[in-house]
Amino acid sequence: MSENTEREVVQALKAHLAINVKDVTRSIAFYRELWGIEPSKVRTGYAKFDVQNPPLNFTLNEVPFNERGALSHLGIQVASTADVLATRARWAESGLVPREEMQTSCCYALQDKAWVRDPDGNEWEVFVVLEDNLPATAPCECGDKVSSATVATDTAAAKAGPQDPTGVVTQPVSCCAPAPVSIGD
């Protein structure tokens, strides 16, 4: 294609994200609270949420599986710490149990964030980037840290402590900061 050839600009309406879930009814209950809206479509083994903020076509597909998938985590980037705190407060008011990480170094950026976990173990974060492009002092291991912390909190759930609606002990989960050394401190 030559430099003088004009490309037609495609206007994207919203991103689409489809995730596999073990129990669509249980997941609808969680995502109803996460998004603060009702699903726009529900069928056997399927649900769709037409999320306006952030613009997202989000679907749940009921599929049997035993372990967490290859997904590391999901997130919603917002404009300010106030937005993180407002989202965390809305989640808590809806009955979800958010965990927060403030002033954390993640993915070579300084961030404030809050987390919730869906019934299938998928981690959702709402975050603001406070400072970006920090020096590469250590490799970023977002997926490894989320998985490690999830294993640690799932193991600790048998011992005791406050639990979220999915029965998992609620402790901070970190994207790139060190995983918790001990649970329940």
pLDDT digits (tens, 9 = 90+) for 71-110: 878 999 999 999 999 999 999 999 999 999 999 988 788 9
pLDDT digits (tens, 9 = 90+) for 3-57: 556 778 877 788 999 999 999 999 999 999 999 999 999 999 999 999 999 999 9
C-alpha distances (whole Å) from 87 to each of 32, 53, 119, 123 are 14, 12, 19, 15
- Contact indicator for 36, 9 with CB cutoff of 8 Å: no
Dmax (CA) for the chain in angstroms is 67
Structure-token match 């490309």, residue found: 7
Entry pTM: 0.66
All domains in the chain, ordered by first residue: 13-63 (3.10.180.10), 72-178 (3.30.720.110)
The single-letter DSSP state of residue 83 is H
pLDDT digits (tens, 9 = 90+) for 110-169: 999 999 999 998 999 999 999 988 787 654 545 444 444 444 434 333 333 333 343 333
Distance CA 149, CA 129 (A): 22
184 pLDDT above the threshold of 70: no
> Could you tell me the end-to-end alpha-carbon distance of the chain, in angstroms, rounded to an integer?
61
